[in-house]
């Protein structure tokens, strides 16, 4: 009897305990609830709030530039110049651009109407999605978190920021200092590895912005599908770099080497491999050697300008890749420092690992092709890359490469310089991702474009033509009214 | 199926679908198809939904003709590269954003507007230069069969294909890899489509549904509001994704609204609605039963008659509806209009915000401020004020949902963008390598200052002016110095001083290195400002005379 009576109550108790434990085990639930509530109050929607937060972000970048530089140096051995131009300045640029254009971006966009709706006002309202999640990787741990955040703030969203746990120095600075600058009820930094991220992704967000690898991209998209959450995926890929015979090898070598070895090759838009003719290869290798020596000295390991590999796991992976083909430049590595010398490989076979995966390190394989056509075929047989580079004095060669291939972005006769232009979107296509951001594109990414049509409440006579009962004249009239204009009727 | 997709991909790879001329030809062929085979198309739609040909024309055909005309008129502009603003680093280069086709796209249509929901996305896919597979709904089988017959007769068969089939075929189809999927249908299947797309990292546009609220303010012309709502609600027998799903109003308005809708229904469809050629039927028995179920236990103000044989459900209004009842839990998608009373606009806004974001939202009021407030404080795919449905007809507006009502948008220009990749292109020359030295290692403090200068300058007129003034000042200073002390030699020109690291210049100048590797600091007149590093926007140089 007593047992029977206590049973359900005990179960309930147990349930409550489990429930309590469950919520304790899920550290995100409480934070997310708070953000959702804050968004509901509508406080993030005012231009004033957005500008204030952006200015705070700007202050964060300025006040803490030393800590940030140190953290980046600690994580990736970045030199001050690299930290500045690839992280801090670009973030600052985005903040400034957003602050300058906020009012314009936020404005309702008026659009034309057709005859049937001539007396109405039609406009597109840019409204925030709600609570967005931004997941950043470790290779540009500051830039790839802050730049999307600028868009999210400018568009009036609340945001959950998940810096990479691998770049732990930067993660620490972000987790400790960033919340001091931003409104804590609307923005939060969450920490954790794959397990925590998996847990985080179970929650419902209104938008997810992910930068990382295609494999994890698929996991993120699958998780997003459960809640019908729209996503932007910024992934990677093997970015080809075609070098035509008609160009100065030293110039090409300078530009390619710089972009390849920048951040020790750990850049998603870096040229991954070179496609060129056998003759070009022979001219290019000494030129590359020359460039590397000039940039990093005779012993690159002592150069303050060359970064290090993020961790042992990636170091080992890259060390394995050094065995592919034949090393003509570099090839040295030092496990203690996670150092891999700027390396050039030749005689690489397509089936070797270095041509199968994104390299993401200071290794540059040269693959020889006989012609431009062969190069284009080579590229088109593979996944669409995030970036594609072509070098030639002949603009027709560059244009052919551009027209007959597909890639996230394209650089003619230079590396990923287009990233420095906020007027250019950054984003992949196919396996290299979906969606785009930077500047106004970030704002659009984090905004729902809401179609609004305000009709006059009067003039009902004009509507009679669309109401049943229908006669042939309705059809004729509607056709005519719609005819010349860019418009349609249901 | 795999072979089919492979075949299309091959054709796409040939590049045939890319030239503007080709796209225009295909769109013209599509228009010819609609015009020449109008009778067949109308008949097929009529058979699927018991729709009069007049309705079929104005609901579906007219939209497509408008869309094709729009695309043909605007294609050259839409497909052209858009120049991008440059910064100092790229001032001499070509920078633009080039729209390019994605590849092979999949379009999955729905049965409620079986023609338009296939054709309108297809127009966008063709215009953007893609190959496409369309999969019409198997529930509207007449239209599906007709599309499978007609499209290959008019369009390039290697690039565009129609696949018919049910759930099994669609599941199989979704295993294939596409470059974009546009799906129109319901939320549950939307999730399945997106999950399938995730396996191949395929971007998706999901056009889903939802319960689109319609708020009627007290301050409004009820006659007109009810007329417009009646039209939008009972069109296609309520089987419209953006139909007003339910009415929110103050309790005192309820009776008047019922009365006026009742009168309008009579106006529109006559005394005997069953006989009206303008009133459609429910698509199939399953949906008929579902709708019948929604009527159970509700207070029917008028209508409510059903006929299982012909799948007829009369235009119905329900009053005093409990928000927790079944009819308020799912998208109705039938000719049933529940009225839920709220105390005021605040409660209406809360009511809307407590639910999933709808595909459409309607507000009727004379008070523009109130309409704006409702728009401001809620979210939905689209909004029409003082009318229903009409925002769909303006193709300068994007059509699409948000949250549970979908993602992505199409129609007109937005269709083109949906099926395009915006590829940023920066084309430089191979000349002027010396200017690049600033970015190459080894690095120095002064390089940093210059990098900031080049990267941070948003290129605008004010910036240009400052630069110009600075340059002039430098030139003037050099000139003054030069003429003041003619005995000093050698005296290189500023231009060459900027250009090259001349050993003489090194001696002549104070020896500070700048980012070009040149000796720029002509006796300290021009040097990077150390104070400015780390701060925003600097011009990075300071002039001393």
A133-170 per-position pLDDT tens digit: 999 999 999 999 999 999 999 999 999 999 999 999 99
Q: Average pLDDT over chain A, rounded to whole?
A: 89
Which residues share a beta bridge with B313?
B306
* Alpha-carbon distances of B363 from A406, B258, B331, B374, rounded to whole Å: 45, 17, 19, 8
CA distance A344 to A331: 8
Residue environment code for A81-115, b if the CB has 16+ CB neighbours within 10 A, otherwise e: bbbbbbbbbbbbbbbbbbbebbeebbeeeebebbb
CA distance A287 to chain B (A): 14
pLDDT digits (tens, 9 = 90+) for A440-451: 999 999 999 999
CA distance A91 to B168: 49
CA distance A21 to B114: 50
- Average of per-residue pLDDT across A16-26: 51
Q: Which of B124, B349, B123, B316 is nearest to B217 (CA)?
A: B349
Please report which confidence band the pLDDT of residue A269 belongs to, taking 50, 70 and 90 as the band edges: very high
pLDDT digits (tens, 9 = 90+) for B311-323: 999 999 999 999 9
CA distance A188 to A199: 16
CB A432 within 8 A of CB A235: yes
**Rg of chain B, C-alpha, whole Å:** 32
Residue A385 has pLDDT above 60, yes or no: yes
Beta-carbon separation of A489 and B393 below 8 A: yes
* Alpha-carbon distances of B484 from B470, B476, B513, rounded to whole Å: 21, 12, 25
Determine the pLDDT at residue A481. 58
Determine the pLDDT at residue B434. 73
Determine the pLDDT at residue A477. 65
CB-nearest partner of A453 from B195, B277, B397: B397
CB B442 within 8 A of CB A297: yes
Residue B478 has pLDDT above 70, yes or no: no
Beta-carbon separation of B422 and A433 below 8 A: no
Beta-carbon separation of B458 and A296 below 8 A: no
Nearest CA in chain B to A254: B440
For an interface test with B, give the residue of A231, A290, A452 to mutate (most B CBs within 10 A).
Answer: A452
Residues 6+ apart with CB under 8 A from A382: A238
Beta-carbon separation of B390 and A453 below 8 A: yes
CA distance B322 to chain A (A): 25
pLDDT digits (tens, 9 = 90+) for B122-140: 999 999 999 999 999 999 9
Range with lowest mean pLDDT among A6-15, A84-93, A243-252, B100-109? A6-15
Nearest CA in chain A to B444: A81
- Average of per-residue pLDDT across B281-307: 95
Which positions in chain A touch B434 (Cβ < 8 Å)?
Answer: none
Which positions in chain A touch B223 (Cβ < 8 Å)?
Answer: 460
* Alpha-carbon distances of A327 from A251, A260, A292, A324, A330, rounded to whole Å: 22, 16, 14, 8, 7
Which tokens is A454 given?
A: 């305000």
Determine the pLDDT at residue A26. 77
CA distance A469 to chain B (A): 5
Range with lowest mean pLDDT among A477-481, B257-261, B308-312? A477-481
Please report which confidence band the pLDDT of residue A16 belongs to, taking 50, 70 and 90 as the band edges: very low
pLDDT digits (tens, 9 = 90+) for A315-333: 999 999 999 999 999 999 9
Which positions in chain A touch B261 (Cβ < 8 Å)?
Answer: none
Task: Identify the active-site residue in B207, B220, B497, B516.
Answer: B207
Determine the pLDDT at residue B527. 37
Residue B233 has pLDDT above 90, yes or no: yes
Beta-carbon separation of B187 and A221 below 8 A: no
The residue that leads in pLDDT, B88 or B31, is B31
Residue B329 has pLDDT above 70, yes or no: yes
Beta-carbon separation of B448 and A230 below 8 A: no
CB B357 within 8 A of CB A455: no
- Average of per-residue pLDDT across A247-272: 94
pLDDT digits (tens, 9 = 90+) for B408-445: 999 999 999 999 999 999 998 887 777 777 778 777 66
Determine the pLDDT at residue B53. 83
Instruction: Give catalytic residues of A, as residue numbers.
Output: 234, 268
CA distance A370 to A280: 11
Residue A21 has pLDDT above 50, yes or no: no
Please report which confidence band the pLDDT of residue B497 belongs to, taking 50, 70 and 90 as the band edges: very low
- Average of per-residue pLDDT across A11-40: 70
Please report which confidence band the pLDDT of residue B456 belongs to, taking 50, 70 and 90 as the band edges: low
- Average of per-residue pLDDT across B55-76: 92
Which residues share a beta bridge with B134?
B107, B162
Range with lowest mean pLDDT among B184-188, B249-253, B427-431, B533-537? B533-537
Q: Does A437 touch chain B (CB under 8 A)?
A: no
CB-nearest partner of B102 from A255, A429, A456: A429
Determine the pLDDT at residue A10. 47
Task: Identify the active-site residue in B50, B214, B241, B497.
Answer: B241
């Amino acid at each position: 009897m007593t047992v029977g009576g206590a049973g359900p109550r005990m179960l309930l108790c147990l349930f409550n305990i489990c429930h309590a434990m469950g919520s304790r085990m899920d550290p995100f639930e409480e934070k997310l609830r708070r953000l959702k509530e804050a968004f509901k109050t509508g406080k993030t929607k005012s231009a004033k709030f957005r500008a204030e937060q952006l200015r705070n972000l700007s202050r964060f970048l300025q006040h803490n530039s030393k800590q940030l530089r140190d953290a980046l140096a600690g994580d990736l051995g970045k030199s001050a110049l690299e930290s500045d131009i690839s992280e801090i300045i670009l973030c600052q640029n985005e903040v400034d651009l957003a602050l300058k254009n906020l009012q314009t971006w936020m404005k309702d966009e008026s659009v034309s109407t057709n005859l049937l709706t001539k007396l109405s006002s039609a406009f597109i309202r840019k409204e925030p999605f709600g609570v967005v999640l931004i997941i950043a990787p470790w290779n540009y741990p500051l830039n790839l978190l802050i730049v999307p955040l600028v868009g999210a703030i400018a568009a009036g969203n609340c945001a959950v920021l998940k810096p990479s746990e691998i770049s732990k120095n930067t993660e620490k600075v972000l987790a400790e200092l960033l919340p001091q600058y931003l409104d804590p009820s609307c923005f939060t930094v969450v920490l954790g590895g794959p397990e925590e991220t998996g847990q985080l992704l179970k929650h419902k967000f209104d938008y997810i912005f992910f930068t990382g690898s295609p494999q994890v991209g698929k996991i993120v998209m699958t998780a997003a599908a459960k809640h019908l959450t729209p996503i932007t995926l910024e992934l990677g890929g093997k970015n080809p770099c075609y070098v035509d015979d008609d160009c100065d090898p030293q110039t090409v070598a300078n530009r390619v080497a710089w972009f390849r070895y920048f951040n020790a090759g750990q850049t998603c838009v870096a040229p991954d491999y070179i496609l060129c003719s056998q003759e070009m290869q022979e001219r290019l290798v000494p030129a590359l050697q020359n460039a590397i020596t000039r940039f990093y000295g005779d012993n690159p390991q002592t150069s303050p300008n060359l970064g290090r590999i993020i961790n042992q796991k990636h170091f080992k992976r890259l060390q394995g890749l050094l065995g592919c083909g034949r090393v003509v430049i570099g090839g040295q590595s030092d496990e203690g420092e996670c150092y891999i010398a700027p390396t050039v490989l030749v005689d690489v076979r397509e089936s070797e690992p270095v041509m199968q995966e994104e390299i993401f390190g200071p290794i540059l394989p040269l693959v020889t092709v006989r012609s431009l056509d062969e190069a284009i075929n080579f590229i088109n047989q593979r996944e669409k890359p995030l970036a594609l580079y072509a070098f030639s004095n002949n603009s027709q060669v560059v244009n052919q490469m551009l027209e007959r291939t597909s890639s996230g972005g394209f650089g003619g006769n230079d590396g990923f310089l287009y990233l420095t232009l906020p007027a250019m979107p950054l984003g992949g296509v196919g396996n290299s991702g979906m969606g785009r951001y930077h500047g106004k594109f970030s704002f659009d990414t984090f905004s729902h474009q809401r179609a609004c049509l305000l009709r006059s409440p009067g003039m009902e006579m004009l509507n009679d033509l669309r109401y049943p009962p229908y006669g042939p004249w309705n059809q004729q009239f509607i056709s005519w009214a719609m005819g010349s204009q860019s418009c349609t009727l249901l | 199926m795999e072979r089919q997709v492979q075949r299309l991909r091959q054709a796409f790879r040939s590049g045939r679908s890319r030239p503007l001329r080709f796209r225009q030809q295909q769109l013209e062929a599509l228009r010819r198809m609609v015009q020449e085979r109008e009778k067949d198309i109308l008949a097929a739609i009529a058979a699927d939904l018991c729709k009069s040909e007049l309705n079929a024309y104005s609901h579906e055909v007219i939209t497509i003709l408008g869309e094709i005309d729009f695309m043909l008129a605007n294609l050259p502009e839409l497909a052209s590269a858009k120049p991008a603003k440059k910064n100092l680093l790229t001032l001499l280069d070509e920078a633009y954003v080039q729209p390019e086709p994605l590849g092979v796209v999949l379009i999955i249509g729905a049965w409620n507007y079986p023609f338009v929901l296939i054709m309108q996305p297809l127009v966008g896919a063709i215009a953007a230069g893609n190959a496409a597979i369309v999969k019409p709904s198997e529930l509207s089988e007449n239209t599906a069969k007709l599309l499978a017959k007609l499209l290959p007769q008019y369009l390039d068969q290697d690039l565009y294909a129609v696949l018919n089939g049910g759930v099994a075929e669609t599941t199989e189809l979704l295993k294939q890899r596409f470059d974009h999927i546009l799906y129109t249908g319901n939320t549950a299947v939307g999730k399945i489509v997106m999950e399938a797309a995730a396996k191949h990292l395929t971007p998706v546009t999901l056009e889903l549904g939802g319960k689109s609220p319609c708020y009627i303010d007290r301050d409004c012309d009820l006659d007109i509001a009810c007329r417009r709502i009646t039209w939008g609600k009972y069109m296609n027998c309520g089987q419209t994704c953006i139909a007003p799903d339910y009415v929110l109003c103050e309790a005192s308005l309820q009776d008047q609204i019922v009365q006026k809708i009742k009168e309008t229904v009579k106006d529109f469809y006559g005394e005997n609605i069953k006989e009206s050629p303008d009133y459609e039927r429910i698509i199939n028995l399953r949906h008929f039963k579902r709708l019948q179920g929604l009527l159970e236990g509700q207070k029917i103000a008028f209508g409510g008659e059903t006929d299982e044989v012909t799948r007829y459900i009369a235009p119905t209004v329900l009053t005093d509806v409990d928000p927790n009842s079944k009819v308020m839990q799912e998208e109705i998608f039938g000719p049933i209009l529940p009225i839920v009373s709220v105390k005021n606009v605040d409660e209406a806004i809360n009511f809307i915000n407590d639910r999933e974001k709808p595909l459409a939202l309607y507000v009727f009021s004379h008070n523009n401020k109130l309409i704006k407030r409702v728009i401001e404080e809620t979210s939905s795919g689209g909004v029409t004020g003082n009318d229903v449905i009409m925002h769909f007809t303006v193709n300068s507006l994007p059509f699409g949902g948000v949250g549970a009502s979908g993602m992505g948008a199409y129609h007109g220009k937005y269709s083109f963008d949906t099926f395009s990749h915006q590829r940023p292109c920066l084309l430089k020359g191979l000349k002027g390598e010396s200017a690049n030295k600033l970015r190459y290692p080894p690095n120095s403090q002064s390089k940093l200052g210059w990098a900031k200068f080049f990267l941070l300058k948003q290129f605008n007129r004010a910036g240009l002016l400052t630069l110009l003034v600075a340059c002039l000042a430098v030139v003037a200073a050099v000139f003054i110095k030069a003429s003041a002390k003619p005995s000093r030699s050698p005296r290189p020109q500023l231009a060459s001083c900027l250009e090259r690291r001349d050993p003489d210049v090194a001696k002549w100048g104070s020896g500070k290195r700048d980012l070009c590797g040149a000796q720029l600091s002509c006796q300290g007149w021009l040097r990077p400002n150390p104070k400015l590093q780390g701060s925003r926007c600097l011009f990075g140089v300071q002039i001393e005379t």
